[in-house]
A and B are shown apart, each in its own frame.
Chain A
């Protein structure tokens, strides 16, 4: 079965700093999803990547899928307290449904 490893497990950054979260798959990724979760709430979709080398941005968050399609990174520029939460990467599996990484807990200090 496919496994996703996220790093780091947790991260504390000063407001205004940049940060990167990584997601590495044991198998080729055909659909890679980034979600954000606030404690006690559901998952909020951020971005989906499918093609090797693909890069997408939304506001100050950029996600990339490497050429070999086994790793993705999520980069946040000039972090803000609103960025705090748990970031989860998920991968399409066959049959349908997502396999998720363990998540990265992000705290942003003001």
Chain B
């Protein structure tokens, strides 16, 4: 398996624009997590899915953020409208179970909002 695949690797966008980040988890994994990493706050969990269903989105910072998982092999994180403070590295991770097991991380998407 190629691991967790995220796209794009880098995204630069203007404030107010819509941004969509994409993730393909490892086949067979039933949990998918979206994290955000910033210098100020470190790595934070935004939302996670179990069997394609969003379970806990309490980490999503604002209503401008939304995430979907239409099938077991694809998830998106959308920011609309984007703001400069959304600039960060966004990671997607997947695992067989929710806990007590290794989570595999993608390479991340570095988002810059100017």
Which A residues have a C-beta under 8 Å from some C-beta of B?
A: 30-31, 33, 35, 40-45, 48, 50, 88, 90, 92-103
Q: Name the B residues within 8 Å of A45 (CB-CB).
A: 102-104
For the side of the interface on B, what is the size category? Answer: 20 to 34
Q: How far is the CB of A61 from chain B (nearest CB, A)?
A: 15
Q: Name the A residues within 8 Å of B93 (CB-CB).
A: 43
Name 29 A/B residue pairs within 8 A (Cβ), A-sorted.
Answer: A30-B99, A30-B100, A31-B99, A31-B100, A40-B110, A41-B108, A42-B4, A42-B91, A42-B105, A42-B107, A43-B91, A43-B93, A44-B105, A92-B99, A93-B45, A94-B99, A95-B56, A96-B48, A96-B50, A96-B55, A96-B56, A96-B97, A96-B99, A97-B48, A97-B56, A98-B45, A98-B103, A100-B42, A100-B43
Q: Name the B residues within 8 Å of A101 (CB-CB).
A: 42
Q: Name the B residues within 8 Å of A50 (CB-CB).
A: 100
Q: Name the B residues within 8 Å of A30 (CB-CB).
A: 99-100
